[in-house]
Amino acid sequence: MNLKICRCNRCGWLGREEEITIPGHCPECQEYEGLEVCGQDMAYTKEELRGLWLLFSDVSIADEDCIEEEYLGFPAGTYRFDVWLWFDVRWPGGVYSLAYEGGEYDAG
Ligand SMILES: [Zn+2]
């Protein structure tokens, strides 16, 4: 099973593809054709990154610390800390802050 994450470019909804009940329509604002599948190369706001992190916690992890389903374009079998690194360079304060401190980081 793959975790496909979609974003609505109109209202900012972010969620699993399964949550889209009417194909092509945002479940939040019903906008048509505003949805895109999230990938690693897209730019994300802080809130979106937080949402992506929460969805990442749903991804099952094998004993060898590899993800068992595709996530954000990372294929199944990717070492989970490679995904952590992806968050680490994007989240202010690093992934540790996101993972263990609720993502609260005061840049001052
Ligand atoms: Zn929307």
Dist. CA 78 → ligand 1 center (Å)? 30
Measured distance between the N- and C-terminal CA atoms of the chain, rounded to whole angstroms: 41
Dist. CA 17 → ligand 1 center (Å)? 13
Per-residue pLDDT of the chain (108 residues; tens, 9 = 90+): 678 999 999 999 999 999 999 999 999 999 998 999 999 999 999 999 999 999 999 999 998 999 999 999 999 999 999 999 999 999 988 998 888 876 565 544
pLDDT value at residue 7: 97
Helix (H) or strand (E) holding 38: none
pLDDT value at residue 92: 87
pLDDT value at residue 108: 40
The domain locations on the chain are 5-100
Dist. CA 30 → ligand 1 center (Å)? 6
Dist. CA 1 → ligand 1 center (Å)? 25
Tell me the three state secondary structure of residue 43: coil
Dist. CA 81 → ligand 1 center (Å)? 31
Dist. CA 101 → ligand 1 center (Å)? 29
